[in-house]
């Protein structure tokens, strides 16, 4: 198992609710599967640290150096898209191992699909992993008895006021 160095990229928070960590191997790793298995404990620790700030969504980028002939280039394989809301939020520490496993599988599948296209690129070594988290702020709606009233005027006014208050605090991530 390789050791990994973890560094928060913008510890003072460039954007509210967004955190980014760079996770780099201390040793030269030439196998992405081994790298992703060995980085799992470091990723779990990063996610536990992020959970202290509240519920969040996470995206993982694995960057590898690849060679094709004399050409060397870094390629990145990643999980789903935070902005489109595809990622499932991490609510509790118990969710973390499952999320790390799912992200690992997504990265490895992306890498295997890339290799399967016959591009001629060969993995040289794993450069590192980037973890990005963003605060998860779900739309909130308070249900009360007026929501179930048969009087449409009461129901409409109650839903208008609750949608006004939730639209101010909602963030689409």
Domain hosting residue 15, numbered range:
4-135
Instruction: Verify that 89 and 150 share a domain, yes or no.
Output: no
Do both 146 and 70 map to the same domain? no
CATH number at residue 110: 3.30.1490
pTM of the model: 0.72
Q: Can you give the chain as a three-state secondary structure string? A: CCCEEEEECCCCCCCCCEEEEEEEECCCCCCHHHHHHHHHHHHHHHHHHHHCCCCEEEEEEEEEEEEECCEEEEEEEECCCCCCCCCCCECCHHHHHHHHHHHHHHHHHHHHHHHHCCCCCEEEEEEEEEEEEEECCCCCCCCCHHHHCCCHHHHHHHHHHHHHHHHHHCCCC
- Verify that 173 and 97 share a domain, yes or no: no
Cβ within 8 Å of residue 15, ≥6 positions away? none
**119 and 69 housed in the same domain:** yes
Averages of pLDDT over each 10 residues, the chain, 173 residues: 84 74 90 93 94 90 94 92 65 93 92 88 94 81 44 44 40 36
């Amino acid at each position: 198992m390789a050791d990994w160095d973890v560094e928060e990229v913008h510890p003072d928070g460039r954007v509210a609710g967004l955190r980014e960590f760079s996770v780099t191997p201390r040793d030269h790793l030439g196998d992405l599967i081994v790298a992703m298995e060995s980085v799992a404990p470091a990723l779990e620790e990063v996610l536990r640290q992020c959970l202290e700030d509240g519920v969040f969504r996470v995206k993982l980028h694995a960057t590898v150096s690849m060679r094709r002939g004399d050409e060397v280039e870094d390629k990145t394989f990643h999980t789903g898209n935070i902005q489109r809301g595809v990622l499932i939020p991490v609510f509790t520490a118990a969710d973390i191992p499952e999320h790390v496993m799912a992200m690992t599988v997504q990265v490895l599948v992306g890498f295997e699909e890339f290799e399967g296209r016959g591009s001629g690129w060969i993995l040289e070594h794993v450069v590192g992993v980037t973890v990005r988290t963003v605060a998860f702020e779900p739309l909130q709606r308070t249900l009360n008895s007026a929501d179930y009233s048969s009087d449409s005027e009461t129901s409409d006014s109650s839903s208008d006021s609750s949608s006004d208050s939730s639209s101010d605090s909602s963030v689409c991530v």
